[in-house]
Structure 1
């Protein structure tokens, strides 16, 4: 049986998205400043950002929800390794099933678990306790994507898949939030993410060029890289919006 790694597993990444450690630590510190008692991450992946918020807010308890079982297993192991297992619960299940309000709500790159952007923001508003904060992370178009670049992106990509940054912020305001901080990722954060997604596969190919699984893995990695370099690079941005509840 081949031991070829799964494409996009993120085993070499700290975060399952374009996010530097420095930005994550600053966001965690800012979210902890209000001394939250409860923190929830809907679509938490392996929970790295949630764990950093909990480390910065020592009186808080957390819940992470994700429907990808291997990520939840990794999250639990990470929490135990860092001495946080008693303060956090990771749930393998749908984000939409979580209905409890929290002082801090995280939803980064996972609005799809709650519908489209508008629907997710409306649902998330109901989960933020009065005086609480939402950290919402989502893609946006840096520039209008031309058809030839869209054809290089994910299957069926259209310009309607994302808004521009002003439009994304307007959607958050329309859902009942006020933007406390608007920030966007750098090209280096994107490159670190995309390179990290491919790293274990590329290393494996160098060591196993004649393995029966090599051809399929090579094709998948080439397609993933092409989607980035010839597709969304320089066009697709990612925003981190720190939002306060407008009552």
Structure 2
């Protein structure tokens, strides 16, 4: 079972692949969605949850979603078919960092996908290239709530993977972006996400005892749970920022 299959199973009960509640997603979209008739782009869209929710609420919008996971994109296409949104959302199975489009977008989203671009600022640079004049970016990424200790490093993180929140925002503003809003995921949101991640994967394994990947799924869930509870819980944070450039009228 590869990483993408594991992620798909682990997100069965929490389709937003980030520590954000449904209420937080709704609130962020309410603030971020552009004016009538605009286009949205999600770079690293996964199964398309953000775009599906956005366009279900706004019948005037159109969107593109990009992800390198062909299975996730296929699931996204099925979801929008079921939701009656297939004529307004197009999904593209390719590297989001090299996506090219004739359109310019009123809102570009990239939530928890900075690794696909090589970090926070490269993600913003990629998003900027797709923006319409006056467009915004909704960006979600990690930060250190406190200095990471040995337990974090033993869980597979490096101290320079992230900065603290203030430094993270300082780097964004130094690159020419103006924060319009921010949401810091709560510990409850993190706990809900992690229990769901490990629980969904474990449930699948227990429900499929004869499957050849049964043991691997249980071991992966247990290792993830240990890394969370004994490592990054309360240390790794997640911030979602609504940003706009001051030099793009």
User: Which TM-score applies when normalising by structure 2?
Assistant: 0.89
Aligned counterparts of 2:84 and 2:234: Cα–Cα separation in 1? 39
Aligned counterparts of 1:128 and 1:58: Cα–Cα separation in 2? 21
Name the residue aligned to 2:151: 148
Equivalent residue of 2:6, what SS?
A: coil
Deviation digits for residues 135-180 of structure 1 (CA, Å, limit 9, x no counterpart): 00000000001123321x22xx211010111111112212221000
Is the CA contact (8 Å cut-off) linking 1:36 and 1:57 kept in structure 2? no
Aligned counterparts of 2:208 and 2:116: Cα–Cα separation in 1? 37
Aligned counterparts of 1:193 and 1:55: Cα–Cα separation in 2? 23
Is the CA contact (8 Å cut-off) linking 2:143 and 2:165 kept in structure 1? yes
CA RMSD of aligned residues (A): 2.1
1:215 Cα deviation from its structure 2 partner:
3.4
Name the residue aligned to 2:225: 225
Is the CA contact (8 Å cut-off) linking 1:103 and 1:128 kept in structure 2? yes
1:28 Cα deviation from its structure 2 partner:
1.6
Equivalent residue of 1:8, what SS?
A: helix
Name the residue aligned to 1:121: 124
Out of 233-242 and 219-228, give the one that drifted further. 219-228
Name the residue aligned to 1:85: 86
1:196 Cα deviation from its structure 2 partner:
1.7
Is the CA contact (8 Å cut-off) linking 1:137 and 1:238 kept in structure 2? yes
- Distance 1:208-1:56 versus aligned 2 partners, 3 A rule: closer
Out of 184-193 and 208-217, give the one that drifted further. 208-217
Equivalent residue of 1:197, what SS?
A: helix
Equivalent residue of 1:83, what SS?
A: coil
Does residue 185 (structure 1) correspond to residue 185 (structure 2)? The answer is yes
1:208 Cα deviation from its structure 2 partner:
5.5
What runs of 5+ residues in structure 2 fail to find an aligned partner? none
Is the CA contact (8 Å cut-off) linking 2:205 and 2:215 kept in structure 1? no
Aligned counterparts of 2:170 and 2:85: Cα–Cα separation in 1? 36
Deviation digits for residues 201-243 of structure 1 (CA, Å, limit 9, x no counterpart): 3224445668765433322221111111111100000000001
Does residue 74 (structure 1) correspond to residue 75 (structure 2)? The answer is yes
User: Which TM-score applies when normalising by structure 1?
Assistant: 0.89
Equivalenced residue count is 241
Does residue 138 (structure 1) correspond to residue 137 (structure 2)? The answer is no
Does residue 194 (structure 1) correspond to residue 197 (structure 2)? The answer is no
Aligned counterparts of 1:202 and 1:148: Cα–Cα separation in 2? 24
Aligned counterparts of 2:240 and 2:168: Cα–Cα separation in 1? 11
Aligned counterparts of 1:46 and 1:210: Cα–Cα separation in 2? 27
What runs of 5+ residues in structure 1 fail to find an aligned partner? none
Deviation digits for residues 30-81 of structure 1 (CA, Å, limit 9, x no counterpart): 2225335110000000011111222233211100000011111111111111
- Distance 1:37-1:230 versus aligned 2 partners, 3 A rule: same
